[in-house]
Amino acid sequence: MSLTADSNTSPLRVLFVCLGNICRSPLAEVVVKEAAQQRGIAELFHFESAGTGSWHIGLGADQRSAAKALQHGLNLNQHAAQQITHDNISDWDILVAMDADNRQNLLAMGAKDEQILMMRMFEQQGAAADVPDPYYGAHDGFEDVYQMLRLNADALLVHLQDSRS
Ligand code: 4NP
């Protein structure tokens, strides 16, 4: 399947989506970006992240996510939270939802079903599990999130690469 008319020349625009855009999706953005760099395919993609909610627009990443990124050699210092809405959804070729609620919210905004991937869809056959929201949980939750993102990053990239051709 070709996702965009000019998908062989311009970077595929991929948006990681969670609720607040301060915990999960910013971490997903840098984890997958780094995996793409390691595979030498970073120039094929334009990655950003956004939240379905508006509470944190313009703010930096949650300190626990920023610390987790740093612990794994990644950097979230430049992050500024943004919101995905009906008005900017068509800017994106692919939306990668962290959980089923994010997916439902994206569909309600007018995203097309085929535009949405689930972050954990590469772990096993069948319905993809959620990347659980770590915001109100313990510190361990952020390591769990990181491991889930890392576990799916390479397969996501293969999928995205295949979808360009
Ligand atoms: P995120 O986590 O969706 O992974 O960024 C959350 C951040 C903030 C809130 C909820 C989840 N909040 O309710 O403010």
Low-confidence stretches of the chain (pLDDT beneath 70)? 1-8, 125-126
pLDDT at 2: 45
| Predicted TM-score (pTM) of this structure | 0.94
pLDDT at 75: 98
Pocket test for ligand 1, best of 17, 18, 19, 84 (most atoms within 8 A of CB): 19
- 23 is an active site residue: no
Amino acid at 164: R
Helix (H, G, I), strand (E, B) or coil at 90: helix
**Ligand 1 contacts CB of residue 55 (under 6 A):** yes
Burial of 41 (0-12, 13-18, 19+ CB in 10 A): middle
Residue extents of the structural domains in the chain: 12-160
Instruction: Output the residue whose Cα is nearest ligand 1's atom 8.
Output: 20
pLDDT at 126: 67
Name the fold adopted by 12-160. Rossmann fold (3.40.50)
Which of 18, 48, 19, 37 lies closest to 120, judged by CA?
18
* Beta-sheet strand order (sheet of 94-97): 45-51, 12-18, 94-97, 116-118
